[in-house]
Amino acid sequence: MSPERSRPLPSAPRSESPSDLVRERTYGEDEVAAILKRAARIDHDRGSTQGALSLSEIEAIARDAGIDPSLVRQAAREIDEGREGGLGGALAGAPVRATIERVVDGEIGAEDHERLAQEIRGVLSSAGVGNRWGLPGSISSIGRTLAVAGFTGTSSIEVTIAPRDGKTFIRLTSDRGQLAGGLFGGIVGGVGGGVGSNVGWMLPALLHLPWFVGVAGAGAVVFGAYWLARSIFASNARGLDRKMEALADRLEAIAASAASARSLPSGGP
């Protein structure tokens, strides 16, 4: 008999190490947005009525993804403001009204109001906004809610700090409508309209140029005046926005420190 041919023994199952596991693909910001948008469209095509999410549900998703939920609320407000004043903001060069929000874990007390109010006046009074912080404004303290209102230059500022449900909500709102009206009304209406109209008739009458040259010259003056007003407004708005962001950061730090101190157990005898 021919000797039986040896067969290889079956190999024992090999345990997978963590490095052998299939690694999940990571997605960039644009890809995440595209995936969510596509998923929402598929959900809508299936006739589901559950496609819309509330802000709290979006915050929960962000929390699971490691994103600060307070940033979700800030982003949602910026989107709403962009929809409300999209064309006006585009024409003016910057949003006429801006809002910044912060949310701090823990609640402040009424005893923290004085320090917070001083910080508000200190930051907005410092150089860099263009004008000093003016108070014929108001400072009101109702319970544990602090509300401060005033003007910096021709822009109105409102700051509200309110504790509730174990958190402290900080909201800053700036309204630059008066500044926009003064710049665009004064520069475009005064300079553009006044000088532009004179240019419009002087070019054909004095230089004997065709009438359309006068119209073009008047239009150029008006456009130049508009662009000047737009540039000044946008620069002022950006400077104020930087101040508002800095103030929001300072108030957030103070509120977090105060809330943390309140949460500590009081020392007994």
Query: Quick one: pLDDT at residue 168?
Result: 92
Query: Quick one: pLDDT at residue 172?
Result: 92
Query: Quick one: pLDDT at residue 93?
Result: 78
What are the E-state strand segments in 12-92?
Answer: none
Which residue positions in the chain have pLDDT lower than 70? 1-24, 33, 36-37, 40-41, 43-57, 69-70, 73-74, 77-88, 125-137, 264-269
Which helix (H) or strand (E) covers residue 160, if one does?
Answer: strand 155-164
The helices-and-strands tally (H runs, E runs) of the chain is 8, 5
Query: Quick one: pLDDT at residue 20?
Result: 47
Question: What tens digit of pLDDT does each residue of 40-57 get?
Answer: 667 666 665 555 666 666
- Architecture of the CATH domain 85-179+231-263: 2-Layer Sandwich (3.30)
* 150-176 as b/e: b if 16+ CB within 10 A: bbbbbbbbbbbbbbeeeebbbbbbbbb
Query: Quick one: pLDDT at residue 262?
Result: 80
Task: List the beta bridge partners of residue 197.
Answer: none
Query: Quick one: pLDDT at residue 136?
Result: 45
Query: Quick one: pLDDT at residue 2?
Result: 47
CA nearest neighbour of 171 among 147, 202, 205, 152: 147
Query: Quick one: pLDDT at residue 162?
Result: 92
Query: Quick one: pLDDT at residue 257?
Result: 92
Question: What is the Cα 256 distance to its own chain's centre?
Answer: 21
Question: What tens digit of pLDDT does each residue of 104-144 get?
Answer: 889 999 899 989 988 887 777 653 444 455 544 678 888 88
CA distance 35 to 41: 10
